[in-house]
Amino acid sequence: KVADRLNFDLEILGILVTMFDRRTSHAREVMSRVVEVFEDRVFDTVITRTVRFPETSVAGEPIITWAPNSQGAEQYRNLAKEVIHRAHGS
């Protein structure tokens, strides 16, 4: 709808799975279904649920500065690389 109304050139670069909790079968089933439906449009990077994310909200800082060595920060760095790769096609 956004492309129809505001930006005709808008394209979806990818689909990001967030708040993923590998420990639950429901999350794994949802992830499997998302990949089944959207195939290669789903980013390889998955942002998992972690206690660090609520802390960053309270601190008012992004995860990469609040907890730069955390799993969440690493996942977002990986996502950034993946976005750049897809956007530039290299």
- For residues 5-26, give the mean pLDDT: 87
Backbone angles phi, psi at 15, to 5 degrees: -115, 130
Spatial contact of 49 and 19, defined as CB atoms under 8 Å apart: yes
Rg of the chain (C-alpha set): 15
What are the tens digits of pLDDT across the range 32-88? Answer: 999 999 999 999 999 998 888 888 888 899 999 999 999 999 999 999 999 999 999
**What's residue 2's pLDDT?**
59
d(CA 12, CA 43): 11
Band (pLDDT 50/70/90 cuts) for residue 1 is low
d(CA 28, CA 73): 22
